[in-house]
Amino acid sequence: MKARVSVGHELMRRKNAVFFTISRRFIRVWQRNWSVYRKTWKVSFLPPLFEPLFYLLAFGIGLSSFVGELSYRGFQVSYISFIAPALIAVNIMYNAFFENTYTSFVRMYYQKNFDAMLATPLSLEEIITGEIMWGATKSVIATAIMQSVISLLGFIHYPQGVLILPLSFLGGFAFGSFGMFITSIMPNIEIFNIPVFLFITPMFLFSETFFPINHLPDWVQKLSLLFPLTHLVRITRSLSFGLLDSGLLWNLAYLLIFSLIFFPLALLKMHSRLIK
């Protein structure tokens, strides 16, 4: 366990050096969640399998007769192929975010799993990192399942589409870190409704998911660019259409910066919540 990153040297000195360490041991926490997942995989993999089908049926077929074709970055695309990649992006967001909010909260608060782990050689930072990595992994699993379905229907262009899988890990990491940050400041589980209603639902609707944003009011467009989901949708959609260009690096950079803000923030806030 030599690879070590220390977060917040100053805090570390002040708080007696204990716990501000991350080593590869976080994998143990990930493994625990993976073991639990394997017990219920037969149920867990059903939603990402069927949800895209429901959406494609309702929006793609139900709505497309009203919408017809639309133009995206100079291309004429069918409505159903416009929303198919967005469904993947939304799923990436949902899987990591909900794993690291409700489910992590249950493990932390009700099951006291973190307390038990803190009596082993694991640091709190490793526990939280393991949880976020697991959230990202769930995004990858869901993406793999969903992408297979959507690919079979012919909406994803390959080989560019292959990149959606590693992208789902980054996206999952970003939304998982954000979710974990929310978890660290939530007094109880009911209040999660508020961040969902404030952030997740608006993102779901206004991140260029179901319609292009260029004819929306200017301020909505600007706000939309602040949403990490907008950037995730743009990359996913471009990859699905087989468009790989340097403009995507900006979207990628945004997701990276978002992660680099919320991941340490989640660690710090969790530390002050749990280490007393």
Partner 1 sequence: MCGRIDDPKGKSRVEYVIEAENLRKVFNNFVAVDGISFQVYPGECFGILGPNGAGKTSTIRMIYGFSPITSGKLRVFGLDITQKWRKIRARVGVCQQDNNLDADLNVRENLEIFAQYFNISRKQARGKAQSLLKFIALEHRQDDEVINLSGGMKRRLVLARALINDPDLLILDEPTTGLDPQSRHQVWDRLRELRSKKGLSILLTTHYMEEASQLCDRLIIMDHGRILVEGKPADLIRHHVGHVVIEVDDPSPKLRIFVQNHNLKHEDLGHRLIIYGQNQDSGRLFQEIDDQFVNENCILRMATLEDVFLKLTGRELRE
Tokens standing for residue 100: 């690291």
Report the 10 Å Cβ neighbour count for 212: 12
User: Looking at beta carbons only, is 11 or 223 nearer to partner 1?
Assistant: 11
User: Looking at beta carbons only, is 16 or 246 nearer to partner 1?
Assistant: 16
The alpha helices in 59-200, defined as continuous H runs, are 64-67, 79-98, 104-105, 113-117, 124-152, 164-185, 193-195
Report, in Å, the least distance between residue 31 CB and partner 1. 6
Closest CA to 72 of 251, 217, 242, 200: 242
User: Looking at beta carbons only, is 116 or 191 nearer to partner 1?
Assistant: 116
User: Looking at beta carbons only, is 113 or 209 nearer to partner 1?
Assistant: 113
Tokens 């297979």 belong to residue: 148
User: Looking at beta carbons only, is 103 or 236 nearer to partner 1?
Assistant: 103
DSSP string, 202-265: HHHHHSSSSS-STTS-HHHHHHHHH-HHHHHHHHHHHHHHT---TTHHHHHHHHHHHHHHHHHH
Report, in Å, the least distance between residue 107 CB and partner 1. 8
User: Looking at beta carbons only, is 119 or 152 nearer to partner 1?
Assistant: 119
Report, in Å, the least distance between residue 19 CB and partner 1. 8
Do 93 and 142 touch, CB atoms closer than 8 A? Answer: no
Report the 10 Å Cβ neighbour count for 69: 13
DSSP reduced 3-state for 22: strand
Report, in Å, the least distance between residue 25 CB and partner 1. 7
User: Looking at beta carbons only, is 35 or 214 nearer to partner 1?
Assistant: 35
Instruction: List interacting residues with partner 1 (CB under 8 A).
Output: 15-19, 21, 25, 28-29, 31-32, 35-36, 39, 107, 111-113, 115-123, 275-276
Report, in Å, the least distance between residue 28 CB and partner 1. 5
Tokens standing for residue 260: 């680099």
Report, in Å, the least distance between residue 174 CB and partner 1. 26
Categorise residue 123: left if φ over 0, alpha if ψ from -120 to 50, beta otherwise: beta
Report, in Å, the least distance between residue 84 CB and partner 1. 34
Rg (CA), the chain: 20
